Amino acid sequence: KAKFTKIGFEEVDLFDRKEKLLRIDENIQNSTIGWNAINKYWIDKEGFIWKSEQNVSPKLPKIYIEITKKPS
């Protein structure tokens, strides 16, 4: 199961600058293996994800992704 929640706009440090981005939390749950986690995404007004913290497995560490330059 997954549920998305809009947390609100936050000022986020991105490499060499600060951006005001919308934070969305994704609460994921797997009752079969008894695992819960929260993934976090920071998104601009155009829907581009600049930064994220993601859990892909209870046996793996969290993955951190930060984009330094938007593709053109």
The Cα–Cα gap between 32 and 29 comes to 9
The Cα–Cα gap between 58 and 56 comes to 7
Mean pLDDT of 56-61: 94
Q: pLDDT by residue (tens digit) across 5-57?
A: 999 999 999 888 999 999 999 999 999 999 999 999 999 999 999 999 999 99
What are the beta bridge partners of residue 24?
Answer: 6, 41
pLDDT recorded at residue 40: 98
For residue 68, is pLDDT > 90? no
What are the beta bridge partners of residue 43?
Answer: 22, 49
The Cα–Cα gap between 29 and 51 comes to 22
Nearest CA to 58 among 24, 32, 40?
32
Residue tagged 């986020």 (tokens): 12
